[in-house]
Amino acid sequence: MPEPTTDTFKTMAADFFDTWNFPNYVGAIDGKHVRVKCPANSGSMFYNYKNYFSVVLQAAVDASYKFIAIDVGGYGKQSDGGTL
């Protein structure tokens, strides 16, 4: 993904305000545990609080729902709120 510039952030903030009436926002973020088969020799690293094996997907989008940041592959034992 391209490295954002100051102008890019200013444009994203203006778009968020124009579309959603949220001032000074550049993105919305959320996470998801994606179910996987237990990787070999992983112990409990991928076992999450929902009692299944997972990797964590976390992403941020701009005001038009276009991805601006993505992180995939965090251990399932991690909270989806703490991976980026």
Taking the C-alpha atoms of residue 32 and residue 51, their distance in angstroms, rounded to an integer, is 14
Q: Which residues 6+ apart lie within 8 Å of 82 measured at CB?
A: none
Cα dist from 58 to 3, 41, 46, 71, whole Å: 18, 25, 15, 5
pTM: 0.74
Per-residue pLDDT tens digits of the chain, which is 84 residues long: 788 899 999 999 999 999 999 999 999 999 888 899 987 888 888 888 889 999 888 999 999 999 999 988 777 766 655 555
Domain boundaries, given as residue ranges, for the chain: 6-75
